[in-house]
Every structure is written in C-alpha cells, then in structure tokens.
Amino acid sequence: MSVIQVLAEGTLDFHPVDPDGFREYVRDHKRRALEPRLMGIREAVERFVQDGDYLAYDCNFFMRGPSALLREVIRQRKKDLWVCGKFTYVDSALLTAGGCAAKIDVGFQMAGPWLRRALDDGLKIYEYSNVVMTTRLQAGSMGVPFLPIRSFGGTDGFKYSGAKLIEDPYTGQPLVIVPALNPDVSLIHVQQADQYGNCRVFGTGISHVECALASKRVIISAEEIVDTEEIRRDPGRTTIPYYVVDAVVHAPFGCYPGEVQGYYASDSEGVLEVFASIGRDQLDAYLQKYVYDHEDEQQMLDRVVGQEKLNALKARATIKDGYHP
Amino acid sequence: MSVIQVLAEGTLDFHPVDPDGFREYVRDHKRRALEPRLMGIREAVERFVQDGDYLAYDCNFFMRGPSALLREVIRQRKKDLWVCGKFTYVDSALLTAGGCAAKIDVGFQMAGPWLRRALDDGLKIYEYSNVVMTTRLQAGSMGVPFLPIRSFGGTDGFKYSGAKLIEDPYTGQPLVIVPALNPDVSLIHVQQADQYGNCRVFGTGISHVECALASKRVIISAEEIVDTEEIRRDPGRTTIPYYVVDAVVHAPFGCYPGEVQGYYASDSEGVLEVFASIGRDQLDAYLQKYVYDHEDEQQMLDRVVGQEKLNALKARATIKDGYHP
Amino acid sequence: MTSQPSSEPASQFTEREAQIVNVAHMVENGKTYWVAGGGSPLYAIILAKRSAAPQAQYITEDGCIAPEPDLPLDPIMTMVAAKAGYRALQWGNMNASGMHAQVGLMDYGILNTLQVDRWGNVNSTATGDYEGEGRRFNGPGGADSIAALCWRTILMTDQQKRKFVDHVDFVSSPGFLDGSEGARERAGLPRNTGPYKVVTPWAVFGYDSNRHLRLEEVAPWVTKEQVLAEMSFEPTLAPEIGVMEIPTEDELNTLRTELDVRGQTSDVGAWIIRNDDRSWTIAAP
Amino acid sequence: MTSQPSSEPASQFTEREAQIVNVAHMVENGKTYWVAGGGSPLYAIILAKRSAAPQAQYITEDGCIAPEPDLPLDPIMTMVAAKAGYRALQWGNMNASGMHAQVGLMDYGILNTLQVDRWGNVNSTATGDYEGEGRRFNGPGGADSIAALCWRTILMTDQQKRKFVDHVDFVSSPGFLDGSEGARERAGLPRNTGPYKVVTPWAVFGYDSNRHLRLEEVAPWVTKEQVLAEMSFEPTLAPEIGVMEIPTEDELNTLRTELDVRGQTSDVGAWIIRNDDRSWTIAAP
C-alpha cells in the first residue's frame, strides 16, 4: 500500500486528540432528556469548571462573550487552566492575572507587561491564529481527529503548534492539517436560551456552535430565559441544541462591560478601563474592583456599575433589526 | 520525516480533486458586485448547465428541491451529466430517463427497472451514502482536498468510491477520508432570494450552503423574490451569500409536485404518479406529460396541474411557524 | 361498536403492528434515536414516547431535533416537510445530524432494512453479482451513517429466508463486518459501536459475545423452528428463548388513530388473531 | 470658518489620512476585501466605496458580509457589534469567513501590521529571541488567514526602521516566506496568492518579480532617501518612483465627519501642511 509523507511537524504539545474517548464521554455524560439545567452562576462554575481544565469560550470580554462567567472563574480562583485564546483580546490577560491560566493557545490576545512576566513565571504559550483555533474546534465538533486547512503553513506559529504538513494523498501537494480540539469546558454567552439549554444567538459570531459541540462540558449564560414553546415556534433560530448543554445561567448584562447586540451597548468607559489596567500593569486592582470585592455578579453590577448606567447602556442599543426573533 | 500509511483505497474514479483550480475558477468567475442575476429558467439552464457537467442539487424532487430546474435540464436535453445523488429519491431516475445522466454518485435513489437497464446501457454508479456525499461537498465548500469521516469504513461502497483508509497521524487509529467534491453546477431551490442571489432557506435541509459554496456555477430558483432591504433587515436569515450565485430564477411552485415548507404542501397524487411511473417503467410517458409537452414550467403548471390545484396545495400549507421571517 | 382502548393485550393486530410495538418497548427513556423520518422506526419511537419513554428524543437525517410531528404525514413527506418538522427544538441539516452522531450524541439508530447477515451487516444496494447482472436497490441513504455512528443499531426487517443471509451480497451499512474482534475499529469506525437488535414480526435477535446474530425471542404465534426455517443461516440461540410481547389495545389505538391512520405502514402483512382458546390464527393477506 | 469640501488636493492633513487615502485609491470596484473590522483598513475601503469603487465589498472576520456600518463605531467594538454589523447581507461566523476565503472568494486583504520584512512576512507575535527574553505582542488574530488565503494582501504600517526589517523575528502571517519561488505552495498555502502592496504614510511598495519588496511611490513631502533611511534593508527600486497621492478635501471631509469622527485613527502622527510656495511642512505631533 502507498504512504503519505509527513513533510514537517510542529514541535510543541497540544491538548490530546482522542475522538473515541470524547465520544465515550458524550455517551456517558451528556443528558438527552429535556430536564431543566438552570442554575446560579456560582453553582455552574463550581460544578463544571475544574482546576486543570482546558477552557474555551466564545467571543470575548467585549463582544457577546461570557464576561460574567469569566469573572466567576477568577472569583473561584480556578487554577492551571489551558486557555483557548482565539479572538480573546483581554480575557487571557484577566485569567492570567487571576492566577487561573497555565497555558494559552493564542489566536489573538492583548499583550502587555503581564505577558512577559507570566512567561517568565512559567506560563506556556502556543502560537496559532483565530481561524486555526476555530478550525481545531470545528474538527472537535465533527468528531474527527484533524482537519486540513489552507492557512498557517510557513509561519513560525506552525513550528510552535500541533499542526503537521503532509503530502495530500489526492493532489500530491503539501497540505497543513491541524489537530482537533475538544475542550474540557466551554463558556458561551447567548441572547436567549430555554431552561433546557436550547440557545439562540443573533448577529455575527465566532464559533459558538462548534465550541459547544466540541466541549465535554458546556455552560451557557443567557441574557433572557425564553419558554421552550418559543423555541419550538421558530426552530430555525436555535443555534445550540440542549443536549450538549450542562448548565444554563440567567445572566442579564452577562457580557458587561461588553456589548450584546440588540440588548445593550458596550460601556466604553468600562472597556477602556480594562485596556488601561493592562497597559499600566494594574490588573490586580482591576480584578479587586470587579471580581474579588463582590460575592457575585449581581453585587458587582449593583455596586460598581449601577442601575442607572445599565439602563443607559440598554437605551443605547438602538439597533434591533435582526436581533429579536 | 515520518509517514502515514494508506491502509486501503477505493478503486473507482471520482470527480477530480483540485482545490487550487477551484479557487482560480472562483477568482475569475464569481461576481463580487451586487448586480442583478435574475433571469428566466430557460436562460439560466442554457447558460449555466453544460453537457458533461458534474451536477449537484440540494434536497429532492419532493422535498424543497429544484424540481422545475431539473425538468428544465431534461427539457433542454442536457447530456453526459455526472449526478450527485445524495438524498435524491426519484431525481436521478428522471435524469437518466431523460438521457441526461452518464454517471451517478449514489447516496439514496429510487431504484426500479430503469436502473438495471441504464446500467446495461453504460450508466456508471458510484456507491456512497447521503452523509458521505454531503461531507464531500462540505470539503469542497471549505476549499480543502478531503475530510476525515467516521462512517463509510468497512462497507462495500468504500470499495467502489474515491475514499481512502489511512492511519490517523494523531491517534494512530485507522481513519476514513473522503475526497472533496466541487460540482460544475448546482441547482438549489429556496423560499426567498433577492435579485442578487442572497438566499433564505427556512426549515430543515440537507446541505444547500455547502452545495452552493462548493460549486463552480450556482442556479437558485426561489418561491419569492424579496427586496434586498428585507435581506439587510435580518441578515441572520441569509443562508447563501450572493457572491456564489450565478443565476436567480423566480420559480413559484418550483418544487412541484413536492412541498416547500410554509408555502405549499406536496401534491400527493403527483408524488405517487412519479413512483408509479418508475415502478411500471413508464418514465418516458411521465416526462412527455410533465416536461416535453410544454415550452416551459409555467405552461406545464397551467396545463397539467391547474390553478385550482395549486391554490389547494397552498391552502394546505397551514404550518407557518418558523417559515416566514 | 369500536373497541375500548385498554392496557390489556389485544387479540387482533397485524404482524407489522406487533413488530413496531416490540421495538417501541425497547426504547429507553432519556436516550437519543436517529431514525428515518417515517414508517415503522418513527412509529416505534413515537409510540414509546407516548408511554414508557416520554424523554426519548429522536433526530432525523435532515437535522430535525426532537420534533412533535403533525401526524399523519403526507405520503413520502417524511423529511424536509412542515408536518414532519413541526415544533422541533432545532432545524439543522444533514451535516449537523451527521456531526451530532459523529461526536457520540446518538444512542440508538433504528433502521428498516432489506437484507441482513449473521454479523449484522446490511444490504440495500444490490443482490447477486454487483459488477455483473445483479439486481440493484436504492442504496444506503442515511443507513450507513446510522449504522456506523450510533452507539447501538436496531434493525427492522421481515422474517424471510432471503432477508437473513449468510453473507450479504453487498455491505451497504456496516454491522460487525467479518465478525472478527475489532473489525469495525480497523475499518475506521468509532469504538464500541455496532448492531444491537434485529426485530422481525416473528422474532427478536441480539448478538452473542462473538458478535454473531442470536435468537432471543419468538412471537407466540410461531415456533422457533418456523423462525429458523425463514433464515439462510443458523443464528446462535439464547440460553432461554423468550416470548415477544403482544400489542395492547392502547398501543394499537395510538398507532391506528394517531400515527398511521391510513395504515400504510402498519396494515401490511398478515393479521394475527388470538382465539378464545388462546391459540393463534395467522390470516395471510 | 469650515473648509468647503471639494475634489481639489487638500493642503492640511495627517500622515495617517494620506496613508488611508492612498489605500482607498487602490481599492478595485467589484472586488471583495477581507478587512479588520475597524481602523485604517476599514476606513480605506469605506472611503473607496463612497467614491470610485461603490461595488467593492468587505467582509470581516466574524463572517459579516457587506455591512453598511452605523458609524462611528463604539471604541474597540469593531466586530460582533450591532453598529459594525448593521445592514449586512449576511451574518455568519469565523468559520464562514475562513471558508469563503479558503475557496478563493476574497480578492484582497488589508492589514495593519507591526513589522514586515523584505519578503512581505509579517510579525505580530514577538521581537527578539522568541524562546528567550524577547518582547511579546498580540499574535496574528485573523491576519494569518488573511495573508494566507486572500489573493492579494495589502499591508499598512509606519515608515520606521524597526518596522521594515531584513527578516522578521517571527513569521506570524506569511509573506513570500524565504522568497524562493513556490515557497508558499511548498508550505501548503494556496497557489498564486501573496503580498501585493505595503503602504506607509511616506511610501508605497510593491514586489518585484523575485518577490522582493520594491519601492514604487514616495510621498511628496519626503525624499526617496528619507524613506530608505527608515528601513533596515534596501528594497528594490521601481524603474520610475512615482508620487503618492494627496487626499482631496472631499475625502478628508468624509473621513473626518463620517468615518473617524473622533479622530482616533486618523488624527495620529504628523500633520502635513502644503505651503503656498508648494513646499511642505511636517508638523510632528
């Protein structure tokens, strides 16, 4: 029989690829029954985020991402996480400042003094790109061990990754393949979910469907909990099916200081405060103010942001077309 | 460097895999400008379906498929087509009876006396499955030469295909890969499109997005032509973007005798008439009655079906939830 | 006078109804089923949902997740159709259902099939010499994926010699392939998946520890010998051959008045009549 | 007194404005652009759409196809945001934009970048010794995919010695790699793609037939020598070095009153003032 040449290989470790093992986890742990998965944010993070997990999240701290869930992860001082840093911006900086991150697969993140210091303290960085990371998640969501991709070849990121350059058996041309990623847990913020975890996301996104399907455990935070009757009225709007979801958290303003399209605008002041904290190397103070000083998210919103500002952010979300079913 | 063992290979030919060639076709032929692509069904099929083409279509003659376009292909006596028979049911029988098909990649099709005779007359069949074919289209739509898949292994279909069994370089386990499919032309029937080809499909489907992205030429037939303002009002409903579309045909009842969810029910009589024609080996008479006897689709609908029945089929489509934006 | 529904065993039903009810009784609550969008597999799962397994969920090949179909469906219109997809939790597509199955979300598949062999392989492609003059059929459709990717596969077929063959002429959908240990894994299929049951109107089969078809239950109106006479090979025999279950009046009522009101699926094949003396009459059609 | 918009060359503008306008003039009508969702690349394409290239279309990394954004955007909120995605033709996701680019639908990419070398390779990851004490940056984000998959890539950067280096310390996004013929293809990248232009406030570069950076145009307020002094390597020189274009009052008006009303992007760097005697003054910030 013929062989396929492996022309080059990245040299760093990557989250282990085990499609059959993932299948067995899904068989044994994903609940197929329509049973309520609603719980508080603390319980959700306590139960479903574990020290040492590979943690993914969709979108980021400013853009329909799970900011409240990320703060709760930091509040609970989770440790040794391997973070999926696709399209992540400041999130990986916050997780590192909070002592949660041990490794980061980078697509894009906000660098700063924190990064050099963390590297010197042992943080491990693996260089990918946003699309490579979403492709790895796509492979994980398809239950296959890898996917071919037409980018990433020739970069130095390739060298510090789990990718391979092979001779395509169909064309004979060099072809990059990237390993599947099946995170231990993913955090996804959505506009609407029902109590079972059927979710609706409106507007553009990154890869929330793939993220949810590829992950062993999935925590959803939702701006609104809608009735399942409403889900059944328009099944074409469902983007994540309940049977991959482990927890549904009702989290209004769950992306603060970021924006959730159709629901509220970003708090520009709050957004720039994060960047300033990174630039001025004051992330500890930032976390104190927004995370550690409060028992939970509601307390933080009440004390630090205030209802008046929240109302104003809501009022600024004047574009509604396409965001409500 | 290491090698990947190829453990087994299908032995039959398959539509050539050439991602770079497809990219160059896309670069040179897909129109990026928002220019009207509306045209009559005859012109669309004359211009964009050519003898010898690899022809794909989404869904089938009964289920939101491009029945009118398929009849027009037969009416224009296109020849030597290689037909993508995923989820096809009777369509491949009609195309073969019409003298259009030379080869069929089979997922599922309605067998009958036509099939044995056609095989004896030189029709070539390649054995896949529905999901293998949609996966091949998915590979084509991603611009990669192949995709791994966890089914198809061990079947006799594998032997009569372009699939390969390789040693997965990540797990060491045997893994099936299937070649990308980039059809020359695809026919897709949708509920709504604008004049540029931005399409909306409501309800479940097969793989219309992948089919459109993977094909060199794309003909859309639509129940309704909607304003582009309406498309921009709810961009989350768009499923096919205009820049992969070559022709938009306004084709009310374009799936007759089948159903278009939300628009009209299937004509059970008309549906069963196709099966009866296959079973009784009377496809020639069927094509005479529904295709050759009429200059175009409108004439066929007027003469054979009649407005009264069409109105009744419309009235029977009582389920609207989720089908209109 | 109409018969009053009850949970008592019925005294008149078709063979097909008995087969559907026996599959329905296998349906596990809280599990997922990838089924064809119509016919016996669909009726079995819905029947189960109406009784012991309300939390069993089904998905069809067009990515329709847990619908509440508006029955009866129009003829043939079992997928990509408004009635079939009514009140689903999600409308996806074929790649979505394939992906969900590939990551292990589908516990069971239920399939109608043409021909099955001693290792549970399924043929829906061709009989006789494939490359020669043999007869051709529809192809696997979604059955190949169901049989490959669901954790367990339940087949429904008729008890006929030509349907139970030693080796299928063409493996359209994979059973245990050549029956050897690990044969599926060596062919690239996911670990620990495969055939689970075969249900005919006359018998229920499982598989022994060597992955060989094993007779487990026989309908009360036939003998084990009658079943074996309608097979081209000898199955393993379970240590104790059980008796297949009898539809209740309730179940028949649901089947006939809600699911298959035209009787297209259920009113096929022989009628089974339980006589007052508890003997059985088989009224061939 | 406000200046009246006109199609005359302006006499006062920032270096950044000049750079944006020169990129805008490169935009081809009827072509697709994969751009970052904000900043100079976005303003360049929108500026072009408002004038010579109304049928140029842009796509952002979040799968947003041909939006009509509600400007100005909120700070940082360039993607997955209501104003940025306003009136798009389709809302997709990152895998969708990646797929569209992979099948060849994206004609051009426009990228802001930190560091570029003689072969058009881009560094946004690290300077100095990667495995040692070097400085780290944000990573490629979407730039790697844009540079790999679009047919042609236009880079925007500043004319500084540390930005034009002989070899980037880290290839985050691929240019012509080692510059040898077919290097991109040998690395698995699609055929016939690659770097096209580099535009700074002082100069426009293309590539020669050996894939080496080539100086093609210089801004009227600097000399060729000044440009070369701000590079760590010598580019090839075009046979004739052209003069970069000057923003018109119309363009500045659009840029300042519609696109970048807060001046966050455009009001950065030196101001360029054309004196009455047609000489130039550079007013450093």
- Contact of C267 with C19, CB cutoff 8 Å: no
- Per-residue pLDDT of A99-115, as tens digits, reads 999 999 999 999 999 99
Q: Touch between chain D and chain C (3+ CB pairs, < 8 Å)?
A: no
Query: Is B5 in CB contact (< 8 Å) with chain A?
Result: yes
Phi-psi region of B8 (alpha: psi -120 to 50; beta: other; left: phi over 0): beta
Report the C-alpha gap between A255 and A264 in whole angstroms.
9
Question: Which chains reach chain A with 3 or more Cβ–Cβ distances below 8 angstroms?
Answer: B, C, D
pLDDT over 50 at B155, yes or no: yes
Interchain proximity B26–D104, CB inside 8 Å:
yes
Tens digits of residue pLDDT in D127-167: 888 888 888 889 888 999 999 999 999 999 999 999 999 99
- What's the whole-number mean pLDDT along residues C190-211? 98
CA B197 – CA B225 distance, rounded (Å): 9
Q: How far is D60 from chain B (nearest CA, A)?
A: 14
Query: pLDDT tens digit string along C5-20?
Result: 678 899 999 999 999 9
Distances (CA, A) of C70 to A55, B22, B77, C77, C258: 41, 43, 40, 12, 10
Judged by phi (left if over 0) then psi (alpha if -120 to 50, else beta), residue B89 lies in: left
Cβ distance of A22 and C104 shorter than 8 Å: yes
Q: How many residues does chain A have?
A: 325
Which one of A22, A25, A242 has the shortest CB-CB distance to C89?
A242
Which residues of B are less than 8 Å from A8 in CB distance? 1
Q: Which chains share 3+ C-beta pairs under 8 angstroms with B?
A: A, C, D
CA distance B278 to chain C (A): 13
| CA–CA dist B48, B248 (Å, integer) | 11
- Residue D107: list chain B partners with CB under 8 A: 27, 32
Query: Residue C2: pLDDT band by 50, 70, 90 thresholds?
Result: very low
Cβ-proximal residues to B307 (8 Å cutoff; 6+ apart), any chain? none
Which residue in the set A6, A145, A235 is minimally distant from B3, CB to CB?
A6
Chain segment B75-130, per-residue pLDDT in tens: 999 999 999 999 889 999 999 999 999 999 999 999 999 999 999 999 999 999 99
**List of chain B residues whose C-beta atoms are within 8 Å of the C-beta of residue D85:** 235
Task: Count chain A–chain C contacts defined by CB atoms under 8 A.
Answer: 85
Which residues lie closer than 8 Å to D114 by C-beta, 6 or more apart? D122, D123, D124, D137, D157, D163
Indicate whether D4 pLDDT > 60: no
CB atoms D139 and A115 under 8 Å? no
Q: Residue B5: which of A1, A164, A166 has the nearest Cβ?
A: A1
Which of B171, B198, B232, B239 to mutate: most A Cβ within 10 Å?
B171
In chain D, which ranges are continuous DSSP H helix? 15-26, 39-49, 94-102, 143-149, 183-186, 224-229, 249-254
Instruction: Residue C109: list chain B partners with CB under 8 A.
Output: none
Could you give the percent of chain D with pLDDT greater than 70?
A: 98
Helices C94-102 and B130-142 pack at an angle, to 10 degrees, of 100
Do D90 and B143 count as a contact with CB atoms less than 8 A apart? no
Average pLDDT, chain B: 97
Quote the pLDDT of residue A313: 98
Residue among B86, B90, B129 with most chain C CBs within 10 A, to mutate: B129
Would you call the peptide bond into A257 cis, given omega within 30 degrees of 0 as the criterion? yes
| Tens digit of each residue's pLDDT, chain A (325 residues) | 699 999 999 999 999 999 999 999 999 999 999 999 999 999 999 999 999 999 999 999 999 999 999 999 999 999 999 999 998 899 999 999 999 999 999 999 999 999 999 999 999 999 999 999 999 999 999 999 999 999 999 999 999 999 999 999 999 999 999 999 999 999 999 999 999 999 999 999 999 999 999 999 999 999 999 999 999 999 999 999 999 999 999 999 999 999 999 999 999 999 999 999 999 999 999 999 999 999 999 999 999 999 999 999 999 999 999 997 5
Q: How far is CA B154 from CA A91, A147, C155, in A?
A: 46, 22, 18
Nearest neighbour of A26 by CB, restricted to C29, C56, C105? C105
Contacts of D278 by beta carbon, 8 Å cutoff, 6+ apart:
none
Taking CA–CA distances from A318, the nearest residue in chain D reads D82
Q: How high is the mean pLDDT of chain C?
A: 94
Q: What local confidence, expressed as pLDDT, does residue D2 receive?
A: 45
What one-letter code names the amino acid at D282?
I
CA closest to A203 among chain B residues: B236
Q: Are the beta carbons of A241 and C102 separated by less than 8 Å?
A: no
- Interior CA angle at D42 toward D36 and D45, to 5°? 125
Closest among D29, D197, D187 to D110, alpha carbons compared? D197
Residue B325 pLDDT > 60: no
Encode pLDDT of A176-197 as tens digits.
Answer: 999 999 999 999 999 999 999 9
> Mind giving me the DSSP string for C200-259?
-SSEEEEE-TTS-EEEEEE-TTS-HHHHHHT-SSPPEEEEEEEE----BHHHHHHIIIII
Higher pLDDT, D258 or B100: B100
DSSP H or E segment with residue A106:
strand A101-106
Q: Which residues of A touch D137 (CB under 8 A)?
A: 111
Interface B:C, Cβ pairs < 8 A: 193
The three-state secondary structure class of C199 is strand
pLDDT above 70 for D5: no
A200, A210, A220: which is closest to A36 by C-alpha?
A220
Sheet (strand D122-123) strand order? D122-123, D115-117, D164-165
Which residues are within 8 A (CB) of B244 and not within 5 positions of it... i.e. 6 or more apart? B30, B197, B212, B213, B215, B218, D105
Could you say which of C61, C187, C190 has the minimum Cβ distance to residue B165?
A: C187
Nearest CA to CA, how far is A231 from chain C (Å)? Answer: 6
How many other CB atoms are found less than 10 A from the CB of residue D236?
A: 16
B-chain residues within 8 Å CB-CB of D30? 31-33
pTM: 0.97
pLDDT above 70 (res C4): no
- CB proximity list for D50: less than 8 A, separation 6 or greater: D254
Residue D185 has pLDDT above 60, yes or no: yes
Q: Nearest-CA neighbor of A146 among B173, D250, C39, B321?
A: B173
Please name the chains neighbouring D, where neighbouring means 3+ C-beta pairs under 8 angstroms. A, B
Nearest residue on chain C to B155, judged by CA atoms?
Answer: C171
Q: DSSP letters of A296-321?
A: SHHHHIIIII-HHHHHHHHHH----T
**Stronger pLDDT, C1 or C147, i.e. the higher one:** C147
For residues D265 and D49, the model is more confident at D49
